[in-house]
């Protein structure tokens, strides 16, 4: 495209439209509007380069969007980020001490730049990690920069310390990371907490879709790799962990690090230099974008940062940018460095065990999921139950008098060695575990392809306008709706929430066969609307 400069604008726009796979028609009203925006951006670019006396700005995939559109679509939205923090703070942080700065730690947009950090000349040796990473990827219009920044840093650490050059999946994080917010943003501290417990999967196992849909939890059980064991960090607003000059450089010297920045400068979306010319921002305000710092270099007596973006290789310097260290736009205020390891088996979850004889003898089955029928698992009645309640982490069970969650039910969470003292359990033939609602994100539901919360599990945290594009369909089985966070779930027979609708309100369904017509509704469902409760709503 840059070689075409000087050609007629319409000819250039046609090539631009083709190369960047724009979906609007050139002959449409939108096509004409985009062409006018393209011309205005071209004029801005040419005038700016002329004033600078060199090419810093060029034709990127964003030349047909206005600066305001760019900020809205590709950067973090302050209102959405604040809402997401309020949502997650209500259910996630109660398990640990929360400092008054927790909101600032989580929310990119609430972090104000303080005094700029200037790294004195010649205080560090040149660092450049670009050679250890795969080509820069493209997040497209999903606000998933946090996932791309995290995976780039993890890939770099694995290459450096485990000699593994893996292409890891960002989509796995976007769909399944319940600490963060999919296309609505995330924060590295929470991302690493989730990765340490849930691992990573390779790109080929979850290709990027440019949207957040659903997490097919069961399909990843055998694919995830336990490669992240922790992280080191410095964060501007965390007492005792502030990013001093030396801390930030020390972290970068060990490998690529995740950083946060303000990417709203008018020229940033058009950055495409010749000879690795630096981007010099005109103004920096609030950080709104996550990227991966990969280098620190000194050139002609000036210090520069080299940073990997997630807008593809057509943008910037093969997907990277260079910025003066004294105009860093928040980059030197944060750094997260992943610590990796050789794959280790994930810890086995301790689950209640059911026995066919008193005194914890005979045949047994240990499960955190539902058991459809004790006759087919331990050969008959339950005579003993051993529950591990370490850390008071008890798992509640519904015990039914008939298989597949039918008949009368009772709750239980205590051990018993023999049913002589627990006569009410003697004739039970089925047990169903209640899903762990403490680890279920606010406003999410879980679908199981077997009755009684057993079988393959899928977590849905967003309304989905077109289920046909996800490869998922509701089936016979069960659905868990945590009434404290979800007001109702509505299934529609057409895409985009159109056509006949069926609502499930404040109730979980143990066996869809027992609700008249529900399986037929599930089979026809082409879109699903999840209506979460507001925080504190009864």
Distance of CA 281 to the CA centre of its chain: 29
Q: Which of 17, 142, 289, 452 is catalytic?
A: 289
228-235 and 257-261 as β-strands: parallel, antiparallel, unpaired? unpaired
So what's the pLDDT on residue 268? 94
Distances (CA, A) of 520 to 94, 499, 512: 40, 15, 10
- The neighbour count for residue 24, using CB atoms within 10 Å, is 14
Closest CA to 201 of 232, 185, 218, 222: 222
Q: Do the Cβ atoms of 416 and 425 come closer than 8 Å?
A: yes
CB-based contact 277:267 (threshold 8 Å)? no
Structure tokens at 36: 């006018």
Using DSSP's 3-state secondary structure scheme, residue 103 falls into: helix
How much is the average pLDDT of 85-98? 33
Look up residue 190 and give its two tokens: 């929470």
Per-residue pLDDT at 106: 34
DSSP summary character for residue 327: G
The tokens 């849909």 sit on which residue? 213
370: tokens are 């539902």
How confident is residue 525, by pLDDT bands cut at 50, 70 and 90? very high
Highest mean pLDDT among 83-87, 357-361, 384-388, 506-510: 357-361
Per DSSP, 507 falls in state -
Q: Do domains 74-92+113-340 and 353-433 have the same CATH topology?
A: no
Q: At what angle do helices 145-157 and 188-198 cross, to 10 degrees?
A: 60
Coil vs helix vs strand at 232: strand
Give CA–CA dist 49/277, Å, rounded: 11
The answer on pLDDT for 410 being more than 80 is yes
Burial (CB count <10 Å: 0-12, 13-18, 19+), residue 94: exposed
Q: How far apart are CA 203 and CA 192, in angstroms?
A: 18
Q: Is 470 or 144 the better-scoring residue by pLDDT?
A: 144
Sheet holding 486-494, edge to edge: 498-505, 486-494, 527-532
- If one counts every other C-beta atom within 10 angstroms of the C-beta of residue 393, the result is 11
CA distance 480 to 478: 7
What the block records as the tokens of 93 is 């942080």
Phi, psi of 445 (to 5 degrees): -125, 160
The SS3 call for residue 40 is: helix
Spatial distance between the Cα atoms of 532 and 482, rounded to a whole number of angstroms: 10
pLDDT digits 0-9 by tens, 45-56:
999 999 999 999
Between 70 and 412, name the one with better pLDDT.
70
Q: 68 CB contacts (<8 Å, ≥6 apart)? A: none
C-alpha R_g of the chain: 27
**What length does the chain have?**
538
**Among the four given CATH numbers 3.40.50.2300, 3.30.2020.10, 3.30.200.20, 2.60.20.10, the one describing domain 437-532:** 2.60.20.10
More confident residue, 495 or 411: 495
Q: How far is CA 423 from the centre of its chain?
A: 47
Q: What is the model's pLDDT at position 535?
A: 63
Q: Which long-range contacts (CB under 8 A, 24 or more apart) does 298-304 make?
A: 298/121, 298/122, 298/124, 298/126, 301/121, 302/121, 303/119, 303/121, 303/124, 304/278
Catalytic option among 17, 142, 145, 215: 145
pLDDT tens per residue across span 305-350: 999 999 999 999 999 999 999 999 999 999 999 999 999 998 877 7
The CATH number fitting domain 74-92+113-340, selected from 3.90.70.10, 3.40.50.300, 1.20.1250.20, 3.30.70.260: 3.90.70.10
Topology of domain 353-433, CATH: Gamma-B Crystallin; domain 1 (2.60.20)
Mark out the alpha helices in 177-262 (DSSP H runs). Answer: 188-198, 217-220, 245-253
In the predicted structure, residue 82 carries a pLDDT above the cut 60: no
Residue pLDDT, tens place only, 153-191: 999 999 999 999 999 999 999 999 988 888 888 889 999
pTM of the model: 0.83
Judge whether residue 2 has pLDDT over 70: no
Annotated domain spans of the chain = 2-64, 74-92+113-340, 353-433, 437-532
Catalytic annotation on 289?
A: yes
Gap between the Cα atoms of 25 and 448, Å rounded = 42
pLDDT at 500 over 70: yes
């Amino acid at each position: 495209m840059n070689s075409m400069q000087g050609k007629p604008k319409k000819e250039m726009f046609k090539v631009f439209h083709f190369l960047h796979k724009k979906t609007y028609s050139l002959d449409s009203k939108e096509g004409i509007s985009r062409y006018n925006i393209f011309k205005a951006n071209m004029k801005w670019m040419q005038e700016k380069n002329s004033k600078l006396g060199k090419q810093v700005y060029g034709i990127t995939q964003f030349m047909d969007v206005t600066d305001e559109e760019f900020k809205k679509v590709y950067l973090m939205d302050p209102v959405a980020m604040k809402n997401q923090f309020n949502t997650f703070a209500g259910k996630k942080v109660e398990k640990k001490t929360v400092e008054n700065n927790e909101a600032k730690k989580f929310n990119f947009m609430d972090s104000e730049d303080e005094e700029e950090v200037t790294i004195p000349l010649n205080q560090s040796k040149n660092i450049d990690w670009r050679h250890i990473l795969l080509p820069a990827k493209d997040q497209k219009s999903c606000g998933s920069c946090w996932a791309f920044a995290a995976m780039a840093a993890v890939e770099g650490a694995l290459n450096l310390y485990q000699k593994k050059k893996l292409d890891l999946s960002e989509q796995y994080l976007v769909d399944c990371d319940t600490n963060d917010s999919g296309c609505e943003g995330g924060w590295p501290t929470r991302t690493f907490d989730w990765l340490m417990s849930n691992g990573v999967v390779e790109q080929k196992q979850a290709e990027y879709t440019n949207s957040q849909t659903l997490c097919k939890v069961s399909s990843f059980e055998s694919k995830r790799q336990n490669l992240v064991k922790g992280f080191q960090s410095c964060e501007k607003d965390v007492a005792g962990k502030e990013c001093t000059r030396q801390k930030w450089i020390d972290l970068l010297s060990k490998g690529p690090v995740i950083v946060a920045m303000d990417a709203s400068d008018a020229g940033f979306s058009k950055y495409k230099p010749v000879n690795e010319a630096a981007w010099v921002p005109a103004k920096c305000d609030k950080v709104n974008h996550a990227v991966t710092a990969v280098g620190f270099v000194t050139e002609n007596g000036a210090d520069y940062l080299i940073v990997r973006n997630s807008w593809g290789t057509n943008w910037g310097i093969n997907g990277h940018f260079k910025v003066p260290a004294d105009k860093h736009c928040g980059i030197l205020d944060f750094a997260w460095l992943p610590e990796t390891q050789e794959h280790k088996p994930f810890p086995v979850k301790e689950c209640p065990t059911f026995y066919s004889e008193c005194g914890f003898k005979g045949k047994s089955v240990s499960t955190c999921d539902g058991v459809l029928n004790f006759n087919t698992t331990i050969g008959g009645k339950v005579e003993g139950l051993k529950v591990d309640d370490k850390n008071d982490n008890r798992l509640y069970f519904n015990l039914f008098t008939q298989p597949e969650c039918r008949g009368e039910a009772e709750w239980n969470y205590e051990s018993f060695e023999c049913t002589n003292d627990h006569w009410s359990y003697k004739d039970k033939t089925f047990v169903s575990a209640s899903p762990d609602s403490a680890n279920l994100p606010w406003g999410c539901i879980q679908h199981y392809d077997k009755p009684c919360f057993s079988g393959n599990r899928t977590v849905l945290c967003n309304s989905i306008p077109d289920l046909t594009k996800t490869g998922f369909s509701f089936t016979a089985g069960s659905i868990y709706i945590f009434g404290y966070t979800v007001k109702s779930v509505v299934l529609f027979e057409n895409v985009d929430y159109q056509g006949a609708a069926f609502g499930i309100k404040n109730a979980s369904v143990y066996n869809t066969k027992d609700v008249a017509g529900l399986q037929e509704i599930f089979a026809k469902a082409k879109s699903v609307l999840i209506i979460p409760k507001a925080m504190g709503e009864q």
